[in-house]
Structure 1
Amino acid sequence: MNQQNTTQALSPARHFTVLLSPTPRGARLARLLAVEWMRDHEVPYGVAETATQLVAELAANAATHGRVAGRSFRLALLRHGGVLRIEVTDTRGERLPHVQPSTPEGDSGRGLLLVEALADRWGVEQGPVPRKTVWAELDLPNP
Structure 2
Amino acid sequence: MTSPMTRQAAVTVRVFTQRFSSTPRGARLARRLALHQFDRWSIPYGSEASDAAALLVAELAANAVTHGRVPGRDFELTLSYTPGLRLRIDVSDTRGERRPVSVAPGPLDEGGRGLLLVEVLATRWEVLDRVPVGKTVRAEIDLASCAEFADAGVRLPPD
**TM-score normalised per structure 2:** 0.79
Tell me, yes or no, if the aligned pair for 1:94 and 1:130 is still in contact at 8 Å: no
Matches within 5 A, 1:105-120: 105-120=108-123
Amino acid corresponding to residue 16 of structure 1 in structure 2: F
State the partner residue of 2:142.
139
Amino acid corresponding to residue 111 of structure 1 in structure 2: G
Partner SS for 2:89: strand
Task: Write the distance in 2 (CA, Å) between the matches of 1:35 and 1:49.
Answer: 8
Amino acid corresponding to residue 68 of structure 2 in structure 1: G
Partner SS for 1:99: coil
Counterpart among 63, 66, 73 of residue 65 in structure 2: 63
State the partner residue of 1:32.
32
Partner SS for 1:95: coil
Amino acid corresponding to residue 131 of structure 1 in structure 2: G
Amino acid corresponding to residue 26 of structure 2 in structure 1: G
Moved over 3 A (4+): none
> Structure 1 residue 13: deviation in Å?
7.1
Matches within 5 A, 1:53-92: 53-80=55-82, 82-92=85-95
Matches within 5 A, 1:16-31: 16-31=16-31
State the partner residue of 1:6.
none
Counterpart among 130, 133, 136 of residue 133 in structure 2: 130
What are structure 2's unaligned runs of at least 5 residues?
Answer: 1-11, 145-153
Aligned-pair Cα RMSD in Å:
1.6
Please, which moves more after superposition, 69-78 or 44-53?
Answer: 44-53
State the partner residue of 1:3.
none
> Structure 1 residue 43: deviation in Å?
1.7
Task: Write the distance in 2 (CA, Å) between the matches of 1:70 and 1:16.
Answer: 23
**TM-score normalised per structure 1:** 0.88
Residue by residue over 1:37-68, the C-alpha shift from the partner in whole angstroms, topping out at 9 and shown as x without a partner, is 00011025210110000000000000100000
State the identity %: 52
Amino acid corresponding to residue 76 of structure 1 in structure 2: T
Partner SS for 1:134: strand
Tell me, yes or no, if the aligned pair for 1:93 and 1:129 is still in contact at 8 Å: no
Task: Write the distance in 2 (CA, Å) between the matches of 1:36 and 1:43.
Answer: 9
